[in-house]
Amino acid sequence: MTENTQKPKANTLWGGRFEGGVSDIMEKINASIDFDKILYRQDIQGSIEHCKMLVETGIITNEDGQSIQDGLTQIEQEITEGNFEFSAELEDIHMNVEARLTEIIGATAGRLHTARSRNDQVATDFKLYVRDACDQADEALKALQIALINIAEENADVIMPGFTHLQSAQPVTFGHHMMAYFEMFTRDRGRFQDARKRLNECPLGAAALAGTSFPIDRHQTAKALGFDGPTANSMDSVSDRDHALEFMSAAAISAVHVSRLAEEIVTWSCAQFNFIQMSDSFTTGSSIMPQKRNPDAAELCRGKSGRIIGSLNSLLITMKGLALTFSKDMQEDKEATFDAVETYSLIIAAMTGMVEDMKVNPEQMRKATDLGFITATDLADWVVRVLGLPFRQAHHITGSLVAMAEKKGGDLDGLTLEEMQTIEPLITDDVFNVLSVDKSVASRVSFGGTAPSEVLKQVESAKKRIG
């Protein structure tokens, strides 16, 4: 049980009006330092730029500004080198840094917080963090796209069954199937790029919520921190967490794409399908069944995507009941976002590795097209094209031919012309030209279609589009 003892002293950074300290439980529920310490670089960068601006606007002296900046630089080094002692009593990264600055340079440290609040400070730090996360996601997705392009190009003419309802539908090429995922990840990159554009306004200088009476220059700090400009409304600035929500929405959608590919990898790599073989780097064995080769990395990509969706939900639910402006509930934004960023980066890296290492079994894929009367649509299209019948009627004739082949125990091209003519007397020998999977695939030359020639066009266009 946690002891609910009273701390003897009030907090030195905000405790002016307090007589006693907080209880242990209060300290525990209040502290975010265990997780927000990863924002130290952003926090110090923001403070340095704020300090420079305070000097340039004459709000603090050059001398004080210099010693604050030197102190902050020293603290950054201490944290980077692991020589910094974080304290839960000091709640968060902002107060830990400021307290240490006071130790190093004395009371002058207190001037840094002029015209600033932790509310605009944390919003700025967090935006800088999410902005980096968007850039990293974009880069990681590009690497995954390159892996997909490569495997698609190598397998542009490898024929496999295409499925709907996980039933054999029409023959497609493996390259085509891989390029479908390329498109999903292109849209994902667009979402991260959009989110980045929208978040790139700087909240610093919004202060607690109302702005400040000091003659600050918000344009200067915004520019120095790489933002397009300052946020337009100080109340929105400190209460907005859309950047994290947008990042996680984009990550959740993208994780769903990863999860679908992971699901296919799991299916394709089982002995019954055997379409692909996963490399040793991304599989594990079983402690009891020596023959096993488990696609754990794919399963974990599928599993972890749920966690990212959960993080998005968690922050949406946190935000939905909050009146303007800042409420401490918002401190809950961080663990969800940090976890989503890390989990997302891990699953994209794992998926990239899996695609790069994947061995394709073209014979098995082709063999699988022997099942399921996969060229039935080609037959129906032939009836329309050559015999001039309406498609609905052609569909019906083909259905009867499939039933006949099924009864006979073979595929459609195992029927003789005479057998076919018992169903539709006008059918000619020419029909056998469309019943092979090669011809079926080669005929799908519509824009974006599965013919190898089209897949190679998609690959060429993809190479240009990845940027």
List active site positions: 165, 286
Q: Which one among 100, 113, 116, 118 touches ligand ARG, defined by CB under 6 A?
A: 118
Report the C-alpha gap between 101 and 110 in whole angstroms. 9
**Closer residue to ligand ARG in complex, CB, 122/341:** 122
First to last CA, the chain: 56
Min dist. Cβ of residue 94 to ligand ARG (A): 6
Report the C-alpha gap between 195 and 251 in whole angstroms. 11
Using rule CB under 6 A, residue 122 touches ligand ARG = yes
Per DSSP bridges, beta strands 229-230 and 201-202 are parallel
Beta bridge pairs of residue 164 = 167
Using rule CB under 6 A, residue 411 touches ligand ARG = no
Using rule CB under 6 A, residue 119 touches ligand ARG = yes
Near ligand ARG by CB under 6 A, which window of 170-178, 220-228, 254-262, 322-330?
322-330
Using rule CB under 6 A, residue 129 touches ligand ARG = no
Using rule CB under 6 A, residue 283 touches ligand ARG = no
**Closer residue to ligand ARG in complex, CB, 94/196:** 94
Structure tokens at 43: 């926090």
Cα–Cα distances (Å) from 165 to 310, 350, 395, in that order, read 27, 27, 19
Near ligand ARG by CB under 6 A, which window of 115-123, 188-196, 270-278, 310-318?
115-123
**Closer residue to ligand ARG in complex, CB, 279/327:** 327
Kindly provide the b/e burial profile for residues 248-286, where b requires at least 16 CB atoms within 10 angstroms of the residue's own CB: bbbbbbbbbbbbbbbebbbbbbeeebebbbbeeebbeee
Min dist. Cβ of residue 96 to ligand ARG (A): 10
Compute the residue count for the chain. Answer: 467
Min dist. Cβ of residue 129 to ligand ARG (A): 12
User: Hey, which residues between 77 and 96 contact ligand ARG (CB under 6 A)?
Assistant: 92
Could you identify the residue written with the tokens 């907005």? Answer: 240
Report the C-alpha gap between 250 and 258 in whole angstroms. 12
CA dihedral 206, 210, 211, 212 (to 10 degrees): -140
Q: DSSP code of 325? A: S
Q: DSSP code of 426? A: T
**Closer residue to ligand ARG in complex, CB, 11/32:** 32
Residues in CB range of 424: below 8 A, 6 or more apart: 383, 387, 397, 401
Q: Which one among 36, 76, 120, 378 touches ligand ARG, defined by CB under 6 A?
A: 36
Using rule CB under 6 A, residue 331 touches ligand ARG = yes
Using rule CB under 6 A, residue 43 touches ligand ARG = no
Near ligand ARG by CB under 6 A, which window of 221-229, 281-289, 325-333, 354-362?
325-333
Structure tokens at 199: 């978040």
Using rule CB under 6 A, residue 352 touches ligand ARG = no
Using rule CB under 6 A, residue 31 touches ligand ARG = no
Q: Which one among 11, 32, 124, 254 touches ligand ARG, defined by CB under 6 A?
A: 32
Which stretches of 106-211 are DSSP H helices?
A: 118-154, 174-199
Min dist. Cβ of residue 126 to ligand ARG (A): 8
Binding site for ligand ARG (CB under 6 A): 32, 36, 92, 118-119, 122, 326, 328, 330-331
